[in-house]
Chains A and B, each alone.
Chain A
């Protein structure tokens, strides 16, 4: 624990409110978190977004003190917490299934943390009342928690966690047990409450929409590391890796090889012709060219500064929020799938010749994943 240097504040700025530095966690031979770094500013709402098994819940439990890391440090508000047990960390947690104490009433659940802090009876009563008011559950104070609906239980779980004024609030997929409609309402409501209170929050989710709606910043996690930490817009418009691109939002992707590179622009040979993109790769590198659906226009609007894919439409697969176009290249016969948000008015007849075009600036290039290189 001595070899790890404290992350130096950049150019005189005060150190971040939450600092997670070089955190590694193993379960047996499996490394769940690998040398992970994360900083969060006071009052920020940061989501940990990733598929199951990416280590996001483990990171949350490490910050809460419910697990110990193998190496690395956790600092909150200049307090070194790495070796501090959970009950001395002043960290609030809203658990996935709320974990409300079934033997206590709503008010007793909310009072639990305050009682542990040995607050006076009057203060506990007042603060519990305020917290229940905040989540609009005041009339339910004397109910048993198991008599509540999922949404109500969630409100109590939030009230129980924030009433102690924690240094940081951790939320572990708190909406996963709610149905879609209720979930959307609760997301906005919770965001309002936390913003009003100015609580620094870390939110674990595998749902990209949830992360985009709620977060100041999103940390996209994959295989125990943060692949991209940025604002929702940043994550969406300029993803740092192919994984981030694929995990957040829709995209159309073409494999290819860089044929030339000059002036900050590369030319990539693909099965659908040459594509240009603002990027720097050595000629010969295997890459993936990608574009977001809203950048694509269908039809002949060819001109300078646009990439074009000509293909025959073989199938239109309507998937609700998105529509998948299955296309076969005219020259090569290769198949691609283009994901678009909605069809043009009048629809697209199967078998029609299409030209998909988009601006060179909207083209993204990523190194091809190792497995796809063959």
Chain B
């Protein structure tokens, strides 16, 4: 070996300048921040105020009712497990789809893209009603099952948890696929080549290279789907109704039926805290993933 080179790292200039530009870019969020401040944060503040408003001054009675009551705790738990199941299934179904979308080209890609995007243009109510028709006792699904001999008699789908999970995955799947797609598309094919030449078969390459490098997409997609699933109202309302109460349905009932603003807004605040924790946890996770990879 020729002892010529020292291992001194090369200097990185340009960094301070980049950071300054980053600050300027931050200012560009100002219009959106103002808009959200007035349209989103202000009403939210009013809601928060309602949740602690009692007959005679401030009270935590609303929260005591929500968190102290086994029924409402059950609703919160059911909402969380429902969202978890929907997220998990969306991830398992969406990841291969996003991978195919990112790695194919030409006509195939256009076709797959339309398959992902078109459902977004159809209203949730239409999609969900369509599902209830399909799920009916005399619906097409049962007709198929009976005529192919898979079952003897009709199976009950409507108003079951299974139909609820299927229906919600149907509605929220694009929100999983899109962030996954954008991350997988950025994945450099040379990493896959490098892994292969280092003895990694397809499965090992996926586990040791593709999965870690696309983790930010998994985190983003999962947190979006979880957040909107946990707050879902229309789909559970139509597919299962009061057999499976979610937080949103409790809220809606409290506001619309009982006129119990304290209960409704306390439940809303609990949901908000859950959603915020997801947002913070996922941003934190993404940041730490990026720092591990990007620095």
Q: Answer yes or no: do A and B interact.
A: yes
Q: Which residues does A use to contact B, with CB under 8 Å?
A: 64-66, 85-93, 95, 97, 99-103, 112-113, 115-117, 134, 136-137, 139-140, 144, 146-152, 160-161, 164, 182, 185-186, 188-189, 192-193, 196
Instruction: Determine the chain B residues whose CB is within 8 A of the CB of A86 once the complex forms.
Output: 193, 196-197
How far is A146 from B12 in the complex, measured between Cα atoms in Å? 12
Please determine whether B197 and A64 come into contact, CB atoms closer than 8 angstroms.
yes
Report B186-202 residues with CB < 8 Å from chain A CB. 188, 190-191, 193-201
How far is A161 from B198 in the complex, measured between Cα atoms in Å? 7
A89, A92, A193: which contacts B1 (Cβ < 8 A)?
A193
Please determine whether A93 and B292 come into contact, CB atoms closer than 8 angstroms.
no
Nearest opposing residue in chain B for A149, CB measure:
B10
A66, A137, A140, A152: which contacts B197 (Cβ < 8 A)?
A66
Instruction: Determine the chain A residues whose CB is within 8 A of the CB of B289 once the complex forms.
Output: 103
Please determine whether B2 and A192 come into contact, CB atoms closer than 8 angstroms.
yes
Query: Main SS of chain A's interface residues?
Result: helix
Instruction: Determine the chain A residues whose CB is within 8 A of the CB of B193 once the complex forms.
Output: 64, 66, 86, 93, 95, 99
Please determine whether A65 and B5 come into contact, CB atoms closer than 8 angstroms.
no
B7 within 8 A of A: yes
Nearest opposing residue in chain B for A151, CB measure:
B5
B9 within 8 A of A: yes
Instruction: Determine the chain B residues whose CB is within 8 A of the CB of A196 once the complex forms.
Output: 1
A136, A144, A152, A186: which contacts B292 (Cβ < 8 A)?
A144
Instruction: Determine the chain A residues whose CB is within 8 A of the CB of B204 once the complex forms.
Output: 87, 116
If A87-B195, A95-B194, A149-B9 are given as contacts, then 9 extra A-B residue pairs at C-beta distance below 8 Å, sorted by A number, are A90-B199, A95-B190, A102-B293, A103-B212, A113-B198, A139-B7, A144-B293, A188-B4, A192-B1
- Tell me how far the C-beta of A114 lies from the nearest C-beta in chain B, rounded to whole angstroms: 9
Please determine whether B7 and A137 come into contact, CB atoms closer than 8 angstroms.
yes
Instruction: Determine the chain B residues whose CB is within 8 A of the CB of A91 once the complex forms.
Output: 197
Interface centre among B193, B200, B205 (most CB of A within 10 A): B193
Please determine whether A189 and B293 come into contact, CB atoms closer than 8 angstroms.
no
- Tell me how far the C-beta of B164 lies from the nearest C-beta in chain A, rounded to whole angstroms: 37
B31 within 8 A of A: no
Instruction: Determine the chain B residues whose CB is within 8 A of the CB of A137 once the complex forms.
Output: 7
Instruction: Determine the chain B residues whose CB is within 8 A of the CB of A102 once the complex forms.
Output: 213, 293-294
How far is A86 from B9 in the complex, measured between Cα atoms in Å? 33
Known pairs A86-B196, A164-B198, A188-B2; A140 contacts B293 (CB<8 A): no
Instruction: Determine the chain B residues whose CB is within 8 A of the CB of A88 once the complex forms.
Output: 199
Known pairs A144-B295, A149-B9, A152-B9; A189 contacts B1 (CB<8 A): yes
- Could you show 28 A-B contacts with beta carbons less than 8 Å apart? A86-B196, A87-B195, A89-B197, A91-B197, A93-B194, A95-B194, A97-B190, A99-B188, A99-B193, A99-B194, A101-B191, A103-B212, A103-B293, A112-B198, A112-B208, A113-B198, A113-B199, A136-B1, A137-B7, A140-B7, A146-B294, A149-B9, A149-B10, A150-B10, A161-B197, A164-B198, A188-B2, A196-B1
Please determine whether A93 and B197 come into contact, CB atoms closer than 8 angstroms.
yes
Instruction: Determine the chain A residues whose CB is within 8 A of the CB of B294 once the complex forms.
Output: 102, 146
Nearest opposing residue in chain A for B204, CB measure:
A116
Please determine whether A136 and B5 come into contact, CB atoms closer than 8 angstroms.
yes
B209 within 8 A of A: yes
